[in-house]
Each structure stands twice: as C-alpha cells, then as structure tokens.
Amino acid sequence: MAVRDYLRERFFPHIWCPGCGHGVVLNSLLRTVEELGFTKNQIAVVSGIGCSSRISGYVDFHTLHTLHGRALAFATGLKLQKPDLRVIVPMGDGDALAIGGNHFLHAARRNIDLTAIVMNNRTYGMTGGQYSPLSGVGTAATTAPYGNIDPGFDTVRLAAAAGATFVARTTTYHVQQLVKILGEAIQHQGFSVVEVLSQCPTYFGRKNKAGSAVDMMRQFKDQTTPVGSEAKQGNPALIERGVFVREQRPEYCAAYDEVVRRAQGGR
Amino acid sequence: MAKAKLESHHIEREWCKGCGICVAFCPKQVLELDRHEKAVAKRLDDCICCKLCEMRCPDLAIQVTCRKGSE
Ligand SMILES: Cc1ncc(C[n+]2csc(CCOP(=O)(O)OP(=O)(O)O)c2C)c(N)n1
Ligand code: SF4
Ligand code: SF4
Ligand code: SF4
C-alpha cells in the first residue's frame, strides 16, 4: 500500500501551519506502518487535544480523539479490551507532561503495551504559545515575555525512571532514524516512549527568534548528536538522540490476563 | 551496485504550503519554490531518488516513485 492510502485525504490540505513539524511526524508514522505491513484495522491511534493531537483525524486507522492530557487513560482502556490492536498515542509536550504527566508516569510504571509519541515543540501551539514543561529556562513564551524560569523535564530520563521499557529520542530532521525508531517502538512489547523534537515555527520559532521551519530543522541537526558519541563529551549542551532504553519486563495486559485466570480458579 | 532510478516525481500543488523544507534539504538542489510559493521539480535529471523530500514534507505533498535499476 502507498503511504497516501493510509490518509483520510478528504481532510487535506491539513490544518497545520506551513512547515509545522507535526506534519513530518505524521509522514514518518505512516511510512513506518507501511514498512511494517500492517493493515488499517490492526492499528489504533488515540490522541488528546492540541495541534499534535489532530494527527488522529488524518490517519485512516481506528482513531479516538479524546481529552487534553487523557489520551493514555483512554488508550489503556482500549488496549486492555482489545490487546491485539497496536495502539499508538501521539501527544504534545503539554498534553503528555503537563496536564497528562500523571497518566504518563503510571502508564510507564505499568509497562502497558502502548507507543507514546511525545511531539515536543516546547510550547502550547494550539492555544497560542504558552510555555510548557519542556520549554526550558530562558525561553520566551506568551506567558513568559521576560524569559521562562521553569526548568524543563528531560523526557527520556523521566520515562526511563518511571519504568518505560523502550525509550528513544530523535527529531523531524532525522526522518530515517524516526521511521526506524517508531518501527521498533511499535513492535516493542511494553510501554514505549519516543520523543520527537518538532518545530512550531508559528509560536516557539517566532517568540524565540529561531527563524523559519527550515532554520529550526537545521538547529535540530546541529544541536543533537547520536547517543554515546564523543561529540557530547566535548560539548555537553548537545542533545542525544537514539535508543536509550530497550528492556523486557512483564507487560500489563498479560499480567491482567493472569489475574483473570486466577480469579476464575481454572473454571 | 543496484541503483534506484526515478520514475516520477509528483508534487500535489493544492497541498503544498511553500515551507521550503524539501527545497532546502534536497541533496541535489532539484527543487525550487515558484512565484506562487509552491514547490516545483526544476532539475529532475539530477534527482538521485533518495526520497528525502517526500519523507520530510510536512504536508505529505510529494510522491517520488523509483524503479530498481542496475549499473
Ligand atoms: C482540560 C483542558 N485544559 C486545557 C485545554 C486547552 N488546551 C487545548 S490544547 C492545549 C495545549 C496544547 O499544547 P501541547 O499539548 O503541547 O500541543 P501542541 O498544540 O503544541 O501540539 C491546551 C492547554 C483543554 N482543551 N482542555
Ligand atoms: S501553531 Fe505551531 S504546533 Fe500548531 S500547527 Fe502551527 S506550527 Fe504547528
Ligand atoms: S516540503 Fe512539502 S509543503 Fe514544504 S515546500 Fe516542499 S512540497 Fe511544499
Ligand atoms: S528524491 Fe532526493 S534528490 Fe530527488 S528531489 Fe527528492 S530530495 Fe532531491
């Protein structure tokens, strides 16, 4: 199947701004599903609210467009009921780690077999460029006109500490790596987190004088380095990308099935 | 070495928003924005079928079809 066959073409051209990184994530996600050879009925995409969350409207899979911050809660219910579905949960940085931070931690702790994609544009795009828990100190936002004083989370370390069993990071510049990582994440049995640095030229870019979408993607190239590279030792400010955690731990739906079996006492 | 050969390079004009990403990152400078700020493939003879334009387009406006050839 061609990538476009997985799209709901009737909603195109899509609503995202010119150069929005979220479109690149959509592009890579479809390419991943195509490469893995899944049919439309094998995939469910569950999202909350935000520019990023609109992704669920554009893909021709099973889709749920739910509440801001709550996508992982809905996805947990869906996965427990229909464990054969590959459930993918794309979220904004605000969606995933501000209002939805608690769901994120507990989904990781449970190691439920979902693929969480954190589309990190370091701002609340949909509501006009407020700062998020991933904006970082010194950035400008509509709610931080004199500079943000809130330190940012490190999504990778947070996810790993909470118990996610597959954790990776890449950017919209590194599309080949993005497809590879998404493929591994979707096939991983357990909670997978993929952070994707994604450009919001309209708010984060403008507020922080980061230039055009092209400029912002060049910054992703220049400001990141493969995990474990020597470059990081010379320049600690570089952001590492690649796979950070890849481990096996009992998966939540399987553990729950075991409880059901015990409760039924072999009946 | 088997090398992919370009069969067609299609840009959906209605979907293109003129962000310039495909233009900036094409390794062979095949693409340009026209005066309507839409991407056009100007030098298709130089295209090496890497599909990076197709993969990076945030509007899913590009479709590159290649055929496996041999040299
Ligand atoms: C319960 C609730 N609180 C607040 C909002 C308003 N709201 C909508 S989207 C959003 C944040 C969007 O930012 P993010 O999740 O980072 O995604 P982006 O738009 O940047 O992709 C907020 C606060 C809402 N819809 N529901
Ligand atoms: S506001 Fe930002 S995140 Fe939202 S569509 Fe525009 S560029 Fe993308
Ligand atoms: S990347 Fe896509 S939307 Fe941007 S200029 Fe090229 S074809 Fe148009
Ligand atoms: S396939 Fe590669 S070489 Fe050809 S136009 Fe696209 S980016 Fe340029």
Q: What average pLDDT score do residues B1-14 get?
A: 88
Lookup: tokens for B41: 């493939």
Instruction: Report the pLDDT averaged over residues A206-217.
Output: 98
Structural tokens at position A199: 């450009």
Look at chain B and report how many structural domains it folds into.
1
**What backbone phi and psi angles, to 5 degrees, belong to A86?**
-85, 115
Q: Does A19 contact B at CB distance below 8 Å?
A: yes
Asked whether A251 and A113 are in contact (CB, 8 A), the reply is yes
Summarised one tens digit per residue, pLDDT across range A33-91 is: 999 999 999 999 999 999 999 999 999 999 999 999 999 999 999 999 999 999 999 99
Contacts of B62 in chain A (CB under 8 A): none
Q: Which of A34, A36, A12 minimizes the C-alpha distance to A23?
A: A12
- A106 near A68, Cβ under 8 Å? no
What b-and-e string marks burial along A104-142, b requiring 16 or more CB atoms within 10 Å of the CB? bbbbbebbbbbbbbbbbbbbbbbeebbbbbbbeeebbbe
Q: A121: domain range?
A: 3-263
Q: What is the mean pLDDT of chain B?
A: 94
Per-residue DSSP letter, A124 = B
Residues with CB under 6 Å of ligand 1 are A 49-52, 68, 92-95, 99, 119, 121, 123-127, 132
Report the run of H or E that residue A244 belongs to, with start and end: strand A239-246
Span A92-104, mean pLDDT?
A: 98
Nearest to A120 by CA among A163, A152, A147: A152
How many domains are there within chain A? Answer: 1
pLDDT recorded at residue A59: 98
**pLDDT one-digit tens code per residue, A134-181:** 999 999 999 999 999 999 999 999 999 999 999 999 999 999 999 999
- The pLDDT of B37-64, averaged and rounded, is 97
Please give the structure tokens belonging to residue A55. Answer: 């992704």
State the average pLDDT over residues A225-236.
96
Residue owning tokens 């924005």: B33
Work out whether the CA dihedral B14, B18, B21, B23 comes out positive or negative: positive
Report the pLDDT value the prediction gives residue A1, as an integer from 0 to 100: 78
Q: What is the ipTM of this complex?
A: 0.95
pLDDT of amino acid B2: 64
Question: A195 is written with which tokens?
Answer: 């952070």
Question: How far apart (Å, rounded) are the C-alpha atoms in residues A56 and A200?
Answer: 19
| pLDDT attached to residue B70 | 57
Q: Does residue A266 register a pLDDT over 80?
A: no
Task: Tell whether ligand 4 has an atom less than 6 A from the beta carbon of residue B50.
Answer: yes
Biggest alpha carbon–alpha carbon distance for chain A: 66
The domain that contains A193 carries what CATH number? 3.40.50.970
Structural domain for B63, as ranges: 4-68
List chain B residues with CB under 8 Å of A27.
Answer: 55-58, 60
Strands (E) across A161-262 are located at 166-171, 192-197, 224-226, 239-246
Ligand nearest to the CA of A202: 2
The domain that contains B36 carries what CATH number? 3.30.70.20
pLDDT category of residue B26 using cuts at 50, 70 and 90: very high
How many Cα atoms occupy the beta-carbon half-sphere of A60 within 13 Å? Answer: 15
Residue in A16, A31, A212 nearest the CB of B58: A16
Indicate the top mutation candidate among B10, B13, B15, B19 to test ligand 3's pocket, ranked by most ligand atoms within 8 A of CB: B19
pLDDT digits (tens, 9 = 90+) for B56-71: 999 999 999 999 865 5
